[in-house]
Amino acid sequence: MRSLPLISIAVPSFNQGRFIRETLQSLVDQQYPNLEVIIQDGGSTDGAVEIAREFVQRHPGTFQLYVEKDKGHAQAVNRAFRRANGEILGYLNTDDTLYPGCLQRVAREIDPAQDRYVVFGRCLFGGEGSVYVGAEHPAEFTSHFDHLAIWKRGYNAIPQPATFWHRTVYQRCGDFDENHNHGLDYLQWCRFTRHFKFHRVDELWAMYRMHPASVSANKTEQDWLDIMTRYSRMHWGPWWHPLRWRCEISHWIHGRHWHERARHHAHRAEESWDHNRMATAVWETFQTARFSPTMAWHRLLQPLLAEKGCAGLSSLLFRRQNDDAPAVAGKYSDNWVGPVYREQVKLPHRRTKIIVVLEHGPQPGGHHSQIEVSLFIEGRKVARERRVAGGQFNIEAVVDRPRDKESVMLELKTRPYFIPRLVTGVPDDRKLCVLVLETIVLAG
């Protein structure tokens, strides 16, 4: 087994004293033994520097702090990376966090021998002051062209806090562009995707914090789309290059006016479905598909099938080619989990009882009234529970510790799921099944 590679995390910092402690603590909680954290502060005056110094003093072998005036976010990131020694690189803004175990998985997934130079996981929107809180950041990659064609989907599909890359990528693609401080991650991914494929890991790795003072919260969706389209154009190539013509034609066909029309009709379709105006709903869904088939499929039809109890059919119809790997899900900040939840559980005893404390949450109007939960240990089904009433309940099993392991993989598979937006009208498109409150380990 190869030794764990050195991972260097750049932390650009400026006046985020309210959040920086949680960000840095999330790196300590990784318990990754070969970690280097370079905090590059631009001269904070709100206590962020003092908090950063605490971590340097407590963990001198891991944390470094440099306080220097800079010209913006991109320059701070570049200065940190120039000081980094790691084989694997990533950066974490001082209002975001990593989930425990993230870096261990990153170290396993990045492997140049398998052409895995860039990896990314899933990312949850957290914080406050945004309709996206509680939902997940899109996390998908198809190709360099698809990444450039931002106008087709209207958003950056690579979550920055959950993306990591091998030093080879940095050496080939160079620094972040210091002339652009807004959306610098999308601009850099345009460079990366030209030379490297992005490998997606279906696991929750990071939390992207939304708050009123954040850059993301102070720009509209259209503002961001305009910025990223401008960045995309910088990488289309010269007029004689085929990629340039492909982008020009795609932008003309799927440009902003088409996207805006599709979003307009999608919103009207959602309102009509919610108020049982079936004829109008069907017509508006058709109109959405006319301008953007992708938006109609993933924003309207897939959630509708799931809400009507056809989640299996939905999965079959809308399954992507890169979805062959089994789903891996973490727990959201409000304790909800989706159809699949996994957790590594340490076994302190030769014979151990594992108790998972759950809560079933039926939804208004009779939605999600009953669930079935199956418990798997190391891939073997050991228990099943059905619930038709709300409230807490346990699912448990007695496990013998394997000779060569100190822990086992616990997996919960739950069905059916519901989508809050379709049930209660809140702006939440997560697929939710049950709440996981606690995992208890006792001598068996």
The CA distance from 25 to 29, in Å, is 6
**Could you tell me where the beta strands, DSSP code E, fall in 43-180?**
63-67, 88-91, 97-98, 118-127, 136-137, 163-166
pLDDT of residue 263: 75
Q: Which residues sit opposite 10 in a β-bridge? A: 38, 91
> 261 vs 158, 265, 287, CA distance in Å?
25, 6, 9
Query: Could you give the domains of the chain?
Result: 7-213 (3.90.550.10), 255-323 (no CATH), 336-443 (2.60.120.260)
Going from the C-alpha of 159 to that of each of 43, 82, 89, 125, the distances in angstroms are 27, 23, 15, 10
- Please enumerate in sequence order all residues whose Cβ is within 8 A of that of 249, keeping only pairs 6 or more positions apart, or say none: none
Report, in angstroms and rounded to the nearest whole number, the Rg of the chain calculated over CA atoms: 23
The answer to whether residues 91 and 10 touch, using CB atoms and an 8 Å cutoff, is yes
Distance CA 38, CA 371 (A): 46
348 neighbors 442 (Cβ within 8 angstroms): no
Q: At what angle do helices 242-254 and 256-274 cross, to 10 degrees?
A: 40
The structure's pTM equals 0.65
Cα(341)–Cα(222) distance, integer angstroms? 35
Cα–Cα distances in angstroms (integers) from residue 230 to residues 213, 219, 224, 292, in the given order: 24, 15, 10, 21
Confidence at residue 83, expressed as pLDDT on a 0 to 100 scale? 97
From 420, 375, 417, select the one nearest 399 (Cα to Cα): 375
Paired strand residues for 384: 374
The single-letter code of the amino acid at 75 is Q
Q: What token pair was written down for 33? A: 């033994």
Name the region of 131 (left: φ>0; alpha: ψ -120 to 50; beta: rest).
Answer: alpha
Q: What stretch of H or E contains 374? A: strand 371-377
Inter-residue contact 304 to 317 (CB < 8 Å): no
Q: Which residues contact 390 (CB under 8 A, 6 or more apart)?
A: 359, 360, 361, 362
Instruction: Report how far residue 378's alpha carbon sits from residue 409's, in angstroms, rounded to the nearest whole number.
Output: 5
In the DSSP assignment, the letter for residue 366 is G
Could you give the C-alpha distances from 348 to 29, 201, 442, in angstroms and in order? 20, 29, 8
pLDDT at 396 (0 to 100): 93
Question: How much is the pLDDT for 325?
Answer: 36
Residue-level pLDDT at 255:
62
List, for the chain, all residue ranges whose pLDDT scores fall below the cut of 70. Answer: 1-2, 129-134, 211-219, 255-260, 274, 294, 297-299, 302-329, 422, 425
3-state class percentages of the chain: helix first, strand second, coil last, to nearest 5: 40, 25, 35
